[in-house]
Structure 1
Amino acid sequence: MSQVTHHQEQSTPNLGAEIVEVIADREGTNPTQLSPPLHSVIDPDALNSLFQSIVSEDSHREGSVCFTYYGYEVQVDSDGNIIAELLDRE
Structure 2
Amino acid sequence: MNLEQGVEFTVSEGATASETVLDAVAAVERTDPNDLTPPLYSVVDPEALDAFVESLNDRTGRVEFVYRGHLVAVGGSGVISVRPQSSKASV
Q: TM-score range by the shorter chain?
A: 0.7 to 0.9
Contact 1:5 1:81 in 2 (8 A): yes
2:82 is paired with a residue whose SS is strand
Counterpart residue identity of residue 65, structure 2: F
RMSD over aligned Cα atoms: 1.7
Q: Does the aligned pair in 2 maintain the 1:13–1:51 contact within 8 Å?
A: no
What's 2:80 paired with? 82
TM norm structure 1: 0.82
1:47-86 paired onto structure 2 within 5 Å:
47-55=49-57, 60-86=58-84
Q: Which amino acid aligns with 2:70?
A: Y
Q: 1:46 aligns with which of 36, 45, 48?
A: 48
Amino acid at match of 1:85: R
Aligned length: 83
Unmatched segments (≥5 aa) in structure 2: 87-91
Structure 2 counterpart of 1:7: 10
Q: Distance in 1 between matches of 2:25 and 2:59?
A: 27
Distance 1:66 1:75 in 2: 4
- Rounded to whole Å, the distance in 2 between the matches of 1:40 and 1:73 is 15
Unaligned regions of 5+ residues in structure 1, if any? Answer: none
The answer on whether the counterparts of 1:6 and 1:22 sit within 8 Å (CA) in structure 2 is yes
What is the TM-score of this pair, normalised by structure 2?
A: 0.81
Q: Identity over the aligned pairs, expressed in percent? A: 31
**Higher RCO, 1 or 2 (CA under 8 Å, sep at least 6)?**
1
Q: Which runs of 4+ in 1 moved over 3 A?
A: none
Instruction: Mark the CA change 1:48 to 1:83 in structure 2 (over 3 Å): closer, same or farther.
Output: same
